[in-house]
Structure 1
Amino acid sequence: MSSTTESSSFLSNTLKRRQQKRHEATKILQEGISSLNLSPTSNEQQQQHINEGGTYPLFNIDPESYLLDEGDERSMLEPNSYNNPNFKQTINVLFNWLNTSLSKESIIIRSFEDDLYDGYILGKLIEYYQPNIRLLHHDIPLSEESKKKTLERVLNYLETCFNQQNQPIKWTLEQIYNRDFIAILHLLLSVMKFFNIKSRYDLPKNLLLKVIVVKKTNGLLQTRIINECFIDDQERGLTSEASKKQGDLIDTLFDLAPDKLGNVEKILLNFINNQLNRYNIHIKQIDIQYFQDGLNLLYLMSNLENYFIILNKYQHKKPLSRDQSYANIQLAFQLMNQAGIDIEQYCRINDLLTGNQRTLYRLLFQLYLRYNKDSNNLLQSITFLQPVHIDSPFL
């Protein structure tokens, strides 16, 4: 038999085996879904999903992704979950956030699974919020090996950050690389929380969805349904509504519970001095005079974000005028924005320059919430103060 004939025969057999496996996977997947008594999606429903801009419907699942080895397990959303209003809201918020953040890179996210699985775009996202962090060693990874290495570097960095803030890890490298939508959704929500993105407050207060878990046993997919929590109602109550109105919260502390300010000041002082000790700076009290020229804010951001600012080259090491102090504070605000803190939502530069003590508390409070792993405890202790005034939204 000639080599050409042998090659042709080998290719033919390979294609046949591939088609057979795909047919088997399709059959097994359908058996798993049918065992849950789920009705198939009609063509009209499919078209409606597409027309409404729906994402990740069940009919888009690639059976090849369910070519499981014995004992392997996969998860997917139960079909009705795609109609959940909170799910739709969450997906829209995430898409808008990603595409807005990555617009300068001319990157457009159309599919979480296909666009994020190799870690490259996640690395770009980290660089956007933390310009001093460089996790991407090359251009877009092309080989499977380089894609996995890129994803591994990105996930190792993120998971180290998440562990410092006691955020749970609800995914694995293999799940992300295998385009597991459940795992990727958990990851994106954790990234949004870590960078304290303003649009995070547009997320629903809770997101609980039914998830189908399929496991291959004796050549068949064994299926079960679980309730998967993506956004926790209690956490949102602390970190969304309260954080969104922390200006009101600080005002309430000053006006209605000044006796509580001492405890807050001690916590903030300890946090600040732990950062400024590196520069042999010690703050005795939360007073505007220590921050009015912007230098200590720059030192704070330098240490918190782990970079060095050459003050005598770029800014005013000993500001002598209001304009020079303004320039320092403006740079500090820019660094906070790059770190994912929308500081202008809570503070104005002119208020700091005019000696507004409440504005200073709001600013330092934001830094504490962003960089201290026990920040939720402080926020909770302030949020749940005993009522003092019937019209106050926080006390």
Structure 2
Amino acid sequence: MDSDFLNVFTQPSTVDQFLDETVIAKGEKRKLIKPTSGNNPKLEQLKLFLIDWINRTLQEEHIVVKSLEEDLFDGLVLHHLLEKLGSLKLDVDKITLTEKKQRQKLSVIMEAVAKCLQLEESQLKWSVESILTKDLLSTLHLLVAIAKHFNPSLALPPNVQVETITIENTSRGLKTSNAVENITDNKESTEAQSNDAFDELFSRAPDKLEAVKKVFLQFVNQHVGKLGLSVKDIESQLHNVNLALDLLADGGLLNFSVNSEDIVKGDMKATMRILYCLYSKYKTKEA
């Protein structure tokens, strides 16, 4: 048990206040953000970023979010967000006033999110109960997962970590443990992962590059040919790049961030990464 943990939770006033606000039933275990993380500037930056993203996304619906904890627990904002981002039509009421109805609505929403993100229950970092009880840790994980899936080019604040405390109400009393948890990706890890198959292709197997380009070119012409178009050079014939990237991001087809200027400048590696995302998606459907 570290000194920071002791400093925060051995002071009677802090413990009393924390336990008064956190009801843990017998046999229940909950993981929460420690009060000390309230002074975490990166956490505040992420919260403001997500609020701004939600408000911009739902501007046409005239929905304004001011607090992630207070404005998302009943499912209304999440309902609109999924309809807007994923064109999902959920069979639930827009407005739910009772806790029972809110829980039923959140259950439908959580099932839809898990299905879209292709996550098993064991992989979820949130639950109906945690969202309903305004748990900030779960709400952040849920929103970040939704944002990364439906808008992968969104520049989420990187390296956001929080100190957490896990509280379990056992037969012998409260049992606690603390840890540090990542909310958004580590920038260094993300950059390291950018050394993908195309980096390997360009640096170690340039002799195979033309063969890969030929496959992509054939794939592109197979689809744009239906529009009466023909592409002979994928380095110089991709126009309307910003529009194309926006459509790809909205469709959840991009699994990495990309700068449109790189495409315009003829960056072959960036271009092939985009084509590979399309190729993987639609070749699978054709198969």
- State the TM-score, normalized to the length of structure 1: 0.53
Q: Which residue of 2 aligns with 1:108?
A: 64
Q: Which residue of 2 aligns with 1:213?
A: 166
TM-align CA RMSD: 4.8
Partner Cα separation in structure 1 for residue 192 and residue 16 of structure 2: 37
Q: Kindly state the Cα deviation for residue 77 of structure 1 after the two structures are TM-superposed.
A: 2.0
The counterpart of 2:206, out of the listed 250, 253, 258, is 258
Number of paired residues?
270
Q: Which residue of 2 aligns with 1:291?
A: 220
Q: What is the one-letter code of the residue matched to 1:339?
A: G
Q: Is the 8 A contact 1:346 1:363 kept in 2?
A: no
**Per-residue displacement from partner, 1:106-162 (whole Å, max 9, x unpaired)?**
11222222222233322221222222x212533222232332222111111211233
Change (3 A) 1:110 1:85: same
**Per-residue displacement from partner, 1:271-317 (whole Å, max 9, x unpaired)?**
xxxxxxxxxxxxx8211x6425xx727xxxxxxxxxxxxxxxxxx95
Q: Kindly state the Cα deviation for residue 172 of structure 1 after the two structures are TM-superposed.
A: 2.1
5 Å-filtered alignment, 1:188-227, equals 188-199=143-154, 201-204=155-158, 206-217=159-170, 221-227=174-180
Q: Which deviates more from structure 2 when the two are superposed, residues 178-187 or residues 360-369?
A: 360-369
Tell me the secondary structure at the aligned position of residue 25 of structure 2: coil
- Structure number with greater CO (CA < 8 Å, separation at least 6) is 2
Q: What is the one-letter code of the residue matched to 1:191?
A: I
Q: What is the one-letter code of the residue matched to 1:142?
A: L
Q: Is the 8 A contact 1:81 1:210 kept in 2?
A: yes
1:237 aligns with 2:191: yes
Q: Is the 8 A contact 1:90 1:203 kept in 2?
A: yes
Partner Cα separation in structure 2 for residue 326 and residue 74 of structure 1: 51
Q: What is the one-letter code of the residue matched to 1:365?
A: Y
Q: Is the 8 A contact 2:93 2:105 kept in 1?
A: no
Larger Rg: 1
Change (3 A) 1:209 1:157: same
5 Å-filtered alignment, 1:8-87, equals 36-38=9-11, 63=20, 66-87=22-43
Q: What is the one-letter code of the residue matched to 1:208?
A: Q
Change (3 A) 1:105 1:180: same
Change (3 A) 1:143 1:128: same
Q: What is the one-letter code of the residue matched to 2:134?
A: R
Change (3 A) 1:78 1:361: same
Tell me the secondary structure at the aligned position of residue 183 of structure 2: strand
**Per-residue displacement from partner, 1:221-247 (whole Å, max 9, x unpaired)?**
4433233333353653356xx39xx9x
Q: Which residue of 1 aligns with 2:234?
A: none
Q: Is the 8 A contact 1:347 1:363 kept in 2?
A: no
Partner Cα separation in structure 2 for residue 128 and residue 155 of structure 1: 16
The counterpart of 2:44, out of the listed 88, 94, 98, is 88
Change (3 A) 1:256 1:60: farther
Q: Is the 8 A contact 1:75 1:180 kept in 2?
A: no
* Percent pairwise identity: 28
Q: Is the 8 A contact 2:198 2:273 kept in 1?
A: yes
Partner Cα separation in structure 2 for residue 212 and residue 332 of structure 1: 44
**Per-residue displacement from partner, 1:16-49 (whole Å, max 9, x unpaired)?**
xxxxxxxxxxxxxxxxx998224858xxxxxxxx
Q: Kindly state the Cα deviation for residue 327 of structure 1 after the two structures are TM-superposed.
A: 11
5 Å-filtered alignment, 1:324-363, equals 335-340=247-252, 345-346=259-260, 360-363=271-274
Change (3 A) 1:332 1:126: same
Partner Cα separation in structure 1 for residue 240 and residue 163 of structure 2: 50
5 Å-filtered alignment, 1:126-275, equals 126-131=82-87, 133-163=88-118, 168-199=123-154, 201-204=155-158, 206-217=159-170, 221-233=174-186, 235-238=189-192, 242=194, 258-259=206-207, 261=209, 265=212
Change (3 A) 1:59 1:125: farther
Q: Is the 8 A contact 2:33 2:137 kept in 1?
A: yes
Q: Is the 8 A contact 2:153 2:258 kept in 1?
A: no
Partner Cα separation in structure 2 for residue 224 and residue 90 of structure 1: 25
Change (3 A) 1:256 1:35: closer
Unaligned runs of 5+ in 1: 1-32, 42-57, 267-283, 298-315, 373-395
Partner Cα separation in structure 2 for residue 127 and residue 256 of structure 1: 44
Partner Cα separation in structure 2 for residue 369 and residue 165 of structure 1: 23
Q: What is the one-letter code of the residue matched to 1:104?
A: E
Tell me the secondary structure at the aligned position of residue 83 of structure 2: helix
Partner Cα separation in structure 2 for residue 219 and residue 111 of structure 1: 36
Change (3 A) 1:162 1:79: same
Q: Is the 8 A contact 1:78 1:211 kept in 2?
A: yes
